Amino acid sequence: MNRLRNLQHEFLQYLLNDASDNIIKRIESSPQRSAEQRMQYYGTAYSLRLQEVLRNDYEQLHAYLGDDLFETLMFNYINRYPSRHPNLRYFGQHMVELVEQLEPFNQHPEVAEIARIEQAFANSFDAADNQHIALSKLAELSPSDWANLQLRFHDSVQLLPQTYNSFQIWQALSNDKTPPDKTLDDMAWVIWRADLVSRYRSLQPAERTALSVALSSGSFAEVCSALLEHYSEQDTPLKAVAYLQQWIADHMLCELGQR
């Protein structure tokens, strides 16, 4: 068993690091191929599989960059972030980090935003399947419950601030249309999953503030306090309740609790 384990370890080291050739000494050559050539087939197949994963995970980023630039990006990614998890779902999780650091991609900030969009959709699809609550749940609250009301969102809910029109670029690419030119566009989007489908919509500034506070603290009282930046003291509670109703209707909330 120890010999097999060592052999497996050496094989893995070869795939992750071409400089490691210990395994080649254990492989027999054939009349057609040397041991080194036979191992190169495995190494090439492994690299091609990782490239396939990145193409699938970042389909619109690939479309935006084109084949040559995306190939450069993939090779850099595979070299910098070797696969460390048995589930390939997590292999591409460092893409945003890479494009924010690597030239020439870091000179085009919309590239990182597009990558973040695709990553958010993957995360929403794979999030835990929490049960959403119904609007009737609000009717069960007593007046005293509201002061300490705590909001728990579905695990798939993600707030995505954008500095550029990257979402419009992503939408055009997703519909096989020519993407618009990059422009400044201070917007935020929310992405979540409902009924087994990933959903998204843009947020106006007030809801963006409310959702940001709600996702970070879960307190309805703190949501109301933050909304005073946008509404009068008289209007704020009604606006906060309206957002709460919207989040429930969208199947974004899975629990109303008390602190």
96/143 same-domain check? no
205 assigned to some structural domain: yes
Contacts of 100 (CB under 8 A, 6+ apart): 106, 112
Say yes or no to pLDDT of 104 above 80. yes
Kindly state whether residue 87 falls inside one of the protein's structural domains.
yes
Domain end residue (candidates: 91, 107, 123): 107
195 lies in some domain: yes
Give 258's pLDDT tier (boundaries 50, 70, 90). confident
Q: Is residue 212 part of a domain?
A: yes
Taking residue 41's Cβ as centre, other Cβ atoms within 10 Å add up to 10
107, 122, 151 - which closes a domain: 107
Q: What number is the average pLDDT over the span 55-67?
A: 97
SS (HEC) of the chain = CHHHHHHHHHHHHHHHCCCCCHHHHHCCCCCCCCHHHHHHHHHHHHHHHHHHHHHHHCHHHHHHHCHHHHHHHHHHHHHHCCCCCCCHHHHHHHHHHHHHHCCCHHHCHHHHHHHHHHHHHHHHHHCCCCCCCCCHHHHCCCHHHHHHEEEEECCCCEEEEEEECHHHHHHHHHCCCCCCCCCEEEEEEEEEEECCEEEEEEECHHHHHHHHHHHHHCEHHHHHHHHCCCCCCCCHHHHHHHHHHHHHHCCCEEEEEEC
Provide the pLDDT confidence category of residue 17 given band limits of 50, 70 and 90.
Answer: low
How many CB atoms sit inside 10 A of residue 95's CB?
Answer: 25
Verify that 67 and 185 share a domain, yes or no. Answer: no
| Residue 115: inside a domain | no
pLDDT at 85 over 80: no
Asked if 137 and 244 sit in the same domain, the reply is yes
Whether 32 shows a pLDDT value over 80: the answer reads: no
Q: Residues of the chain with pLDDT > 70: what percent?
A: 83
Q: Considering the domain boundaries, does residue 218 fall inside one?
A: yes
Residues 143, 91 within the same domain: no
Please give the share of the chain, as a percent, with pLDDT higher than 90.
70
User: Which structural domain, as residue segments, surrounds residue 101?
Assistant: 1-107
- Checking if the pLDDT of 161 tops 90, the result is yes
Question: What would the mean pLDDT of 41-65 be, rounded to a whole number?
Answer: 88
**Listed residues 71, 92, 107: the one ending a domain:** 107
8 band by pLDDT with thresholds 50, 70 and 90: low
Tell whether 144 and 100 lie within a shared domain: no
In a shared domain, residues 147 and 258: yes
* The two three-digit tokens of residue 49, written as one number: 């599989």
- State the CATH number of the domain containing residue 148: 3.90.930.50
Kindly indicate the confidence band of residue 52, based on its pLDDT and cuts at 50, 70 and 90. Answer: very high
The pLDDT-based confidence of 6 (bands split at 50, 70, 90) is low
**Tens digits of per-residue pLDDT, 167-219?**
999 999 999 999 999 999 999 999 999 988 999 999 999 999 999 999 998 88
Return the top range by mean pLDDT from 21-35, 70-84, 99-113, 142-156. 99-113
Question: pLDDT tier at 156 (50, 70, 90 boundaries)?
Answer: very high
Comparing 15-19, 46-50, 118-122, 218-222, which segment has the lowest mean pLDDT?
A: 15-19
- What is the domain count for the chain? 2
Give Dmax (Cα) for the chain: 86
- 153 and 83 fall within a common domain: no
| Domain identity same for 59 and 174 | no
